[in-house]
Amino acid sequence: MHRPPTNIAPNTHHPPPCLVHAGARANWSRSGHLAMLSSKSRHVKVLAVPASSSQGNSNNNISQHTKLRTDKFFEVEMAVHDNELDEYGVVNNAIYVAYIHNAREDLAASIGFSMASIARTGNAMALLELNLKYLKPLRRGAKFVVKVRIVQIKGARILVDHFIETLPDHKLVLEATATIVCLNKDYRPTRVFPEMSSKLHQFFSSKDG
Protein backbone atom coordinates (compact mmCIF):
# COMPACT_ATOMS: atom_id res chain seq x y z
CA MET A 1 0.00 0.00 0.00
CA HIS A 2 1.30 3.40 -0.98
CA ARG A 3 1.60 5.66 2.07
CA PRO A 4 0.72 9.34 1.58
CA PRO A 5 3.46 11.75 2.64
CA THR A 6 3.10 14.65 5.00
CA ASN A 7 2.62 17.89 3.08
CA ILE A 8 0.71 21.15 3.11
CA ALA A 9 -2.20 19.22 4.59
CA PRO A 10 -0.61 16.34 6.48
CA ASN A 11 -2.69 13.21 6.91
CA THR A 12 -0.38 11.08 9.00
CA HIS A 13 -2.58 8.00 9.17
CA HIS A 14 -3.29 6.28 5.86
CA PRO A 15 -7.08 5.70 5.79
CA PRO A 16 -8.46 2.28 4.87
CA PRO A 17 -10.71 2.17 1.79
CA CYS A 18 -13.88 2.12 3.90
CA LEU A 19 -13.03 5.56 5.33
CA VAL A 20 -12.31 7.25 2.03
CA HIS A 21 -15.73 8.59 1.07
CA ALA A 22 -17.66 11.83 1.05
CA GLY A 23 -17.36 13.40 4.45
CA ALA A 24 -14.46 11.22 5.62
CA ARG A 25 -12.41 12.80 8.39
CA ALA A 26 -8.69 12.08 8.64
CA ASN A 27 -6.85 11.41 11.89
CA TRP A 28 -3.46 12.97 12.56
CA SER A 29 -0.68 12.99 15.10
CA ARG A 30 2.08 15.42 16.05
CA SER A 31 4.84 12.98 15.20
CA GLY A 32 4.05 12.98 11.49
CA HIS A 33 4.46 16.66 10.69
CA LEU A 34 8.18 16.41 9.90
CA ALA A 35 7.85 13.51 7.48
CA MET A 36 8.57 14.69 3.94
CA LEU A 37 8.99 12.08 1.20
CA SER A 38 10.82 12.53 -2.09
CA SER A 39 8.74 12.81 -5.27
CA LYS A 40 11.34 13.15 -8.02
CA SER A 41 9.35 11.01 -10.46
CA ARG A 42 6.50 13.52 -10.62
CA HIS A 43 6.35 16.20 -13.28
CA VAL A 44 5.17 19.54 -11.90
CA LYS A 45 3.70 22.42 -13.85
CA VAL A 46 1.25 25.28 -13.37
CA LEU A 47 -1.82 26.03 -15.46
CA ALA A 48 -3.35 29.50 -15.44
CA VAL A 49 -5.91 30.87 -17.87
CA PRO A 50 -5.12 34.54 -18.62
CA ALA A 51 -7.12 36.78 -16.31
CA SER A 52 -9.04 39.82 -17.52
CA SER A 53 -7.80 42.04 -14.71
CA SER A 54 -4.32 42.54 -13.30
CA GLN A 55 -3.36 41.45 -9.81
CA GLY A 56 -0.91 42.98 -7.33
CA ASN A 57 2.53 41.39 -7.39
CA SER A 58 4.05 42.58 -4.14
CA ASN A 59 4.39 40.09 -1.30
CA ASN A 60 3.85 42.87 1.21
CA ASN A 61 0.54 43.81 -0.39
CA ILE A 62 -0.88 40.29 -0.45
CA SER A 63 -3.50 39.84 2.26
CA GLN A 64 -6.34 37.50 3.13
CA HIS A 65 -8.65 39.93 1.33
CA THR A 66 -6.90 39.30 -2.00
CA LYS A 67 -9.24 37.53 -4.40
CA LEU A 68 -8.11 34.04 -5.31
CA ARG A 69 -8.46 33.16 -8.98
CA THR A 70 -10.84 30.35 -9.85
CA ASP A 71 -9.03 29.71 -13.14
CA LYS A 72 -5.58 29.01 -11.73
CA PHE A 73 -4.37 25.54 -10.81
CA PHE A 74 -1.17 23.93 -9.65
CA GLU A 75 -0.65 20.70 -11.61
CA VAL A 76 1.34 17.53 -11.03
CA GLU A 77 1.55 14.75 -13.62
CA MET A 78 1.80 11.19 -12.29
CA ALA A 79 1.44 7.56 -13.38
CA VAL A 80 -0.21 4.53 -11.81
CA HIS A 81 2.10 1.89 -10.30
CA ASP A 82 1.28 -1.80 -9.95
CA ASN A 83 1.40 -1.74 -6.14
CA GLU A 84 -1.43 0.82 -6.14
CA LEU A 85 -3.95 -1.56 -7.75
CA ASP A 86 -6.64 -3.54 -5.97
CA GLU A 87 -7.86 -7.04 -6.74
CA TYR A 88 -9.98 -5.70 -9.61
CA GLY A 89 -7.02 -4.20 -11.46
CA VAL A 90 -7.89 -0.57 -10.74
CA VAL A 91 -6.34 1.96 -8.35
CA ASN A 92 -7.42 1.34 -4.76
CA ASN A 93 -9.71 4.08 -3.47
CA ALA A 94 -7.36 4.98 -0.61
CA ILE A 95 -4.50 5.63 -3.05
CA TYR A 96 -6.24 8.69 -4.45
CA VAL A 97 -5.72 10.33 -1.06
CA ALA A 98 -1.98 9.84 -1.54
CA TYR A 99 -2.15 11.35 -5.02
CA ILE A 100 -3.76 14.59 -3.87
CA HIS A 101 -1.47 14.80 -0.83
CA ASN A 102 1.57 14.41 -3.08
CA ALA A 103 0.28 17.26 -5.23
CA ARG A 104 -0.12 19.53 -2.21
CA GLU A 105 3.41 18.62 -1.11
CA ASP A 106 4.72 19.76 -4.47
CA LEU A 107 2.66 22.94 -4.25
CA ALA A 108 4.25 23.76 -0.89
CA ALA A 109 7.72 23.15 -2.33
CA SER A 110 6.99 25.32 -5.37
CA ILE A 111 6.30 28.39 -3.23
CA GLY A 112 9.37 27.75 -1.09
CA PHE A 113 7.44 26.80 1.99
CA SER A 114 8.93 24.42 4.55
CA MET A 115 6.57 22.34 6.67
CA ALA A 116 9.54 21.44 8.85
CA SER A 117 9.95 25.10 9.79
CA ILE A 118 6.38 25.17 11.11
CA ALA A 119 7.00 22.04 13.14
CA ARG A 120 10.12 23.59 14.66
CA THR A 121 8.03 26.48 16.01
CA GLY A 122 5.75 23.99 17.76
CA ASN A 123 2.81 24.80 15.51
CA ALA A 124 1.12 22.26 13.29
CA MET A 125 -1.37 21.67 10.49
CA ALA A 126 -4.09 19.04 10.29
CA LEU A 127 -6.43 17.69 7.64
CA LEU A 128 -9.81 18.41 9.22
CA GLU A 129 -12.10 17.06 6.53
CA LEU A 130 -11.77 15.38 3.13
CA ASN A 131 -14.65 14.85 0.70
CA LEU A 132 -14.05 12.65 -2.35
CA LYS A 133 -16.21 11.94 -5.39
CA TYR A 134 -15.06 9.06 -7.60
CA LEU A 135 -16.12 9.38 -11.25
CA LYS A 136 -14.09 6.74 -13.10
CA PRO A 137 -11.23 4.35 -12.24
CA LEU A 138 -7.56 4.62 -13.09
CA ARG A 139 -5.98 1.41 -14.38
CA ARG A 140 -2.49 -0.10 -14.59
CA GLY A 141 0.01 2.21 -16.29
CA ALA A 142 -2.42 5.11 -16.68
CA LYS A 143 -0.98 8.61 -16.80
CA PHE A 144 -2.91 11.39 -15.12
CA VAL A 145 -2.69 14.90 -13.74
CA VAL A 146 -3.66 16.18 -10.29
CA LYS A 147 -4.88 19.79 -10.33
CA VAL A 148 -4.94 21.78 -7.07
CA ARG A 149 -6.76 25.05 -6.45
CA ILE A 150 -6.98 27.10 -3.24
CA VAL A 151 -10.62 28.13 -2.80
CA GLN A 152 -10.52 30.08 0.46
CA ILE A 153 -8.15 31.10 3.23
CA LYS A 154 -10.14 32.28 6.21
CA GLY A 155 -9.48 32.27 9.93
CA ALA A 156 -7.69 29.04 10.83
CA ARG A 157 -8.80 27.15 7.73
CA ILE A 158 -7.69 26.62 4.15
CA LEU A 159 -10.20 25.16 1.69
CA VAL A 160 -8.62 23.29 -1.23
CA ASP A 161 -10.15 21.80 -4.39
CA HIS A 162 -8.51 18.90 -6.25
CA PHE A 163 -9.24 17.35 -9.63
CA ILE A 164 -7.67 14.23 -11.13
CA GLU A 165 -7.84 13.89 -14.92
CA THR A 166 -6.56 11.24 -17.30
CA LEU A 167 -3.82 12.08 -19.79
CA PRO A 168 -3.77 12.96 -22.58
CA ASP A 169 -7.59 13.14 -22.95
CA HIS A 170 -8.31 15.01 -19.66
CA LYS A 171 -11.31 12.91 -18.60
CA LEU A 172 -12.31 13.68 -15.03
CA VAL A 173 -11.52 10.84 -12.62
CA LEU A 174 -12.00 12.36 -9.19
CA GLU A 175 -13.09 15.55 -7.44
CA ALA A 176 -11.99 16.25 -3.87
CA THR A 177 -12.33 19.07 -1.38
CA ALA A 178 -10.10 19.29 1.70
CA THR A 179 -10.35 21.52 4.74
CA ILE A 180 -7.02 22.19 6.44
CA VAL A 181 -6.69 23.77 9.87
CA CYS A 182 -3.68 25.52 11.38
CA LEU A 183 -2.91 24.75 15.04
CA ASN A 184 -0.89 26.53 17.70
CA LYS A 185 1.48 24.96 20.22
CA ASP A 186 -1.49 23.86 22.34
CA TYR A 187 -3.13 22.22 19.33
CA ARG A 188 -5.87 24.79 19.22
CA PRO A 189 -6.98 26.39 15.94
CA THR A 190 -5.04 29.53 15.09
CA ARG A 191 -5.18 31.94 12.16
CA VAL A 192 -3.48 30.61 9.02
CA PHE A 193 0.24 31.29 9.39
CA PRO A 194 1.00 34.72 7.82
CA GLU A 195 3.87 33.58 5.59
CA MET A 196 1.86 30.66 4.22
CA SER A 197 -1.21 32.82 3.66
CA SER A 198 0.85 35.47 1.86
CA LYS A 199 2.56 33.01 -0.48
CA LEU A 200 -0.63 31.11 -1.31
CA HIS A 201 -2.53 34.33 -1.99
CA GLN A 202 0.29 35.59 -4.18
CA PHE A 203 0.48 32.37 -6.18
CA PHE A 204 -3.26 31.87 -6.69
CA SER A 205 -4.10 35.51 -7.36
CA SER A 206 -1.24 36.42 -9.69
CA LYS A 207 -1.77 36.90 -13.41
CA ASP A 208 1.36 35.01 -14.37
CA GLY A 209 1.21 31.22 -14.71
User: Which of 2-16, 25-39, 98-112 comes out lowest in average pLDDT?
Assistant: 25-39
pTM: 0.72
Percentage of residues in the chain with pLDDT exceeding 70? 67
Q: What is the pLDDT of residue 65?
A: 57
User: pLDDT tens for residues 93-140?
Assistant: 999 999 999 999 899 888 877 678 788 889 998 999 999 999 999 999
Positions marked catalytic: 86
Pick the CATH number of 17-32+43-53+62-205 from 3.10.129.10, 3.40.1160.10, 3.10.290.10, 3.40.50.720: 3.10.129.10
3-state SS record for the chain: CCCCCCCCCCCCCCCCHHHCCCCECCCCCHHHCCCCCCCCCCEEEEEECCCCCCCCCCHHHCCCCCCCCCCEEEEEEEECCHHHECCCCEECCCHHHHHHHHHHHHHHHHCCCCHHHHHHHCCEEEEEEEEEEECCCCECCCEEEEEEEEEEEECCEEEEEEEEEECCCCCEEEEEEEEEEEECCCCCECCCCHHHHHHHHHHHHCCCC
**94 against 28, higher pLDDT:** 94
What's the rounded mean pLDDT across residues 20-39? Answer: 34
Q: What is the pLDDT of residue 192?
A: 94
Please say if the pLDDT value at position 76 is more than 90.
Answer: yes
- Domain coordinates in residue numbering, the chain: 17-32+43-53+62-205
